[in-house]
């Protein structure tokens, strides 16, 4: 599934969920209110359900939520990447140098494998989410 398809699916799902929750809330109001409010709530419920402007507004809100979630996810990914890079360089790379680079020549495959194993270990320990583990990458060759 492409990023565009995933975003479309996410927006559709979120829009449907927001609309369903709104309709459930309105239906609940109708069930728990007196007769005068009942009529108003029922009218509002049907208007919300059938009004394309309300649906469009819900789509705008759902897109704003998606955009904010993506911004937060990217920010968190960058923070986690910085943390992983620092820990890898300070803790793991020392062992790779001792074990595989004692001749002074960088062993790029050993560095990459050690990095991947380190990320997997952090993911398994719950320090990284699956998304972060799949998307964190650093240039181990330049270290």
> Which residues form the domain of 142?
72-143
Nearest in space to 111 (alpha carbons), one of 90, 98, 123, 97: 97
- Domain count for the chain, please give it: 2
Among the listed residues 27, 17, 119, 20, the one whose alpha carbon sits nearest the alpha carbon of residue 77: 119
**Exposed e or buried b for every residue in 2-17, given b needs 16+ CB within 10 A?**
eeeeeeeebeeebbee
76 and 35 part of one domain: no
pLDDT digits (tens, 9 = 90+) for 28-78: 665 665 544 555 666 766 777 777 887 787 778 888 888 888 899 899 999
Domain assignment of residue 94, yes or no: yes
- 8-state DSSP, 127: S
Q: What is the pLDDT of residue 36?
A: 47
36, 77: one domain: no
Q: Is the separation of the CB atoms in 112 and 140 below 8 Å?
A: yes
Indicate whether 142 belongs to any domain. yes
């Amino acid at each position: 599934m492409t990023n565009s398809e995933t975003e479309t699916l996410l927006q559709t799902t979120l829009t449907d969920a927001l609309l369903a929750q709104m309709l459930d809330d309105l239906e609940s109001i109708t069930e728990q209110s007196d007769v005068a409010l009942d009529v108003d709530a029922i009218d509002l419920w049907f208007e919300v359900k059938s009004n394309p402007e309300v649906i469009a507004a819900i789509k705008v809100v759902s897109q704003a939520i998606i955009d904010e979630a993506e911004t937060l996810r990217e920010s968190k990914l960058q923070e986690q990447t910085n943390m992983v890079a620092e820990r890898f360089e300070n803790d793991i790379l020392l062992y790779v140098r001792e074990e595989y680079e004692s001749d002074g020549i960088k062993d790029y495959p050993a560095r990459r494998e050690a990095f991947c194993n380190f990320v997997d270990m952090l993911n398994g320990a719950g320090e990284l989410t699956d998304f972060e583990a799949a998307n964190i990458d650093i240039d181990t060759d330049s270290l």
